[in-house]
Amino acid sequence: MENRRAFIKQLAAAGMLSALPNALLSQASPAPKEKIWGSLMHLSFNMWEDHDRLKNDGNTNHQVRVWDSNLRLSESLWEESLKKMVANGLNMVVIDLGDAVRYDSHPEIAVKNAWTPARLRSELAKMRKMGLEPIPKLNFSAGHDQWLGDYSRMVSTPTYYKVCGELIAEVISLFDKPRFFHLGYDEENAQNQRFLNVAIVRHGEQWWKDFYFFVKEVEKGGVRPWIWSDFAWENQEEFFKKMPKSVLQSNWYYGNDFSDPNHKIVRTFLRLEKEGFDQIPCGTYYVSATEKPKDENMMANVQFATKSIADSRLMGFLLTNWRPTTEAYREEILKGFDLTGQARKWYNQNRKS
């Protein structure tokens, strides 16, 4: 390939490029394959069990996480977000569906004003016309599944398996068999649930039994499962012994310093690469009352991944924001797309040849 490229450059310098057959040109200089440049968008934001700290500690970053029986969605912000993604070269939308759809299989979990399946299908068609690939997300972490309503307290029971399987099958159908299905599966541990009114944490073989159930249900529909990778942070050997290579990994890091290879998150990126997993590294942008705005995070993720992950296994990048899609967060949600667009430009200028 390198010799062929050098040959083309010599011909170009000699003014003879136009004489080459088109077939030879296409073989000599293939267009680089566009990576995934995705963003998580929240149709549903009911991921946390109510607890007193969220309601009463005065921190708006906590209070926004309180469960709400109504759909939290600004239609105009949703529309502008899609346009902003396209303007910045993004090509994928991961939609956190949760209880924001009145599923035919389980309408009982829907919040007020939830989208109908027909409305969802219409939105998906519009996204595809805009050049955005829609991907479904239902988070089945026992720490982030409050969108399941009463079923979130039936984890690992026959009823739970039946309901979750039916929801996955319906969503795959609604999305016309998407390329991926994001299962979430993050932060299921005691630390992240220490303030919840009801805390459920699966351990050991039960965690894996349920995880394999979800993987099977997604793959049964001809779709590739996708998860957050943070279980590996504290369970490295168990994770890499039991995690199927078919599962797409999004390790997430919201800091800017990747210099310490022993940092548990940085180490996980490197181990995923060493073990041959496909990755979509995940960064963020949001404004917090207790942290500096994360203006550099997406760029830092992209720069680190570009030098640390083989191009064949680096499938792209994902932006998250942990805010409902409402007017109160318009500015920071839209800014995230601009920052991701800047990181994409850097990548396209510096990507591995």
Q: How far apart are CA 151 and CA 218, in angstroms?
A: 19
Q: Are residues 266 and 223 in the same domain?
A: yes
pTM of the entire predicted model: 0.89
Residue 109 half-sphere exposure toward CB, CA atoms < 13 A: 24
Q: Are residues 156 and 27 in the same domain?
A: no
Give phi and psi for 135, each to the nearest 5: -125, 130
- The answer to whether 134 and 178 have CB atoms below 8 angstroms apart is yes
Q: Are residues 265 and 341 in the same domain?
A: yes
- The answer to whether 137 and 99 have CB atoms below 8 angstroms apart is no
Q: Are residues 82 and 154 in the same domain?
A: yes
Q: Are residues 24 and 47 in the same domain?
A: no
Per-residue pLDDT for the chain (353 aa), expressed as one digit of tens each? 444 444 444 544 444 444 444 444 334 434 457 999 999 999 999 998 766 556 655 556 666 788 899 999 999 999 999 999 999 999 999 999 999 999 999 999 999 999 999 999 999 999 999 999 999 999 999 999 999 999 999 999 999 999 999 999 999 999 999 999 999 999 999 998 888 888 999 999 999 999 999 999 999 999 999 999 999 999 999 999 999 999 999 999 999 999 999 999 999 999 999 999 999 999 999 887 777 778 999 999 999 999 999 999 999 999 999 999 999 999 999 999 999 999 999 999 998 65
CATH number at residue 288: 3.20.20.80
Range of the domain at 12: 1-31
Other C-beta atoms within 10 Å of 314: how many? 22
